[in-house]
Amino acid sequence: MSTRAGVALMSYQIKPLLKLYSLACASVLLSSVSSCGVPADGDSVGELRGTVLEVPILKPDLVLTDTEGVLYDLRAETDGYLSLVFFGYTNCPDVCPVHMATLAGVFDELAPEVRDATKVIFVSTDPERDTPDRLQQWLRAYHPSFLGLSGEMEAINSALAEMKLPGVAVVPGQHGSEVTIGHPSAVLAFGRDGLARVRYPFGVRRADWVNDLPLLLSENP
């Protein structure tokens, strides 16, 4: 599937959790084989490999609900952490499970002090289908530390606008076909100071994350 302007248009497909989990495992295995944590030709050790933003983006003022039903203030709860924020949905057939599977593999490879200082935040763009239980189970299939949030679409789209990302687009299906949903396909990395200076598009390699996360933490100790 191709993406335009950072937006992935995807069909809603109800998939069993086991199938999503299998895809996650396959992606982790693939990334470990293809990258092996060794820089490829042309890669620079000690330099950021994500897409550096021309202008840093302030972490949005966003209060949503976590999978336990508790209000979650994004700025307050992630203050002092490196926060990887992604907007997606559990029925996503490709972009979302691949991102989460890749990050799960990365977390297993990070030094404990880097992992403990980093949070992965998954904001649902499909709150009607992504119930708290489903969102929690889906994320835990990748990594137990990944946090899921949901809330009103108005608040989510407002946050996306603050982050200079396209809003969520839901297109009803025609003649019995399934609806499609569009959401940003990139992960934004917010430093400990609450500013995002780097984004990571769909397809970023596991080795790139492993290289960049310690660097991002060292920039804001």
For the chain, domain boundaries: 62-219
What is the three-class DSSP state of 155? helix
The span from the first CA to the last CA of the chain, in angstroms, equals: 38
Q: For 28-36, what is the mean pLDDT?
A: 34
What pLDDT shows up at residue 182? 85
What tens digit of pLDDT does each residue of 58-109 get? 999 999 999 999 999 999 999 999 999 999 999 888 899 999 999 999 999 9
pTM of the model: 0.78
Helical packing angle, 17-35 and 95-109, nearest 10°: 60
What pLDDT shows up at residue 94? 87
CATH class belonging to 62-219: alpha beta
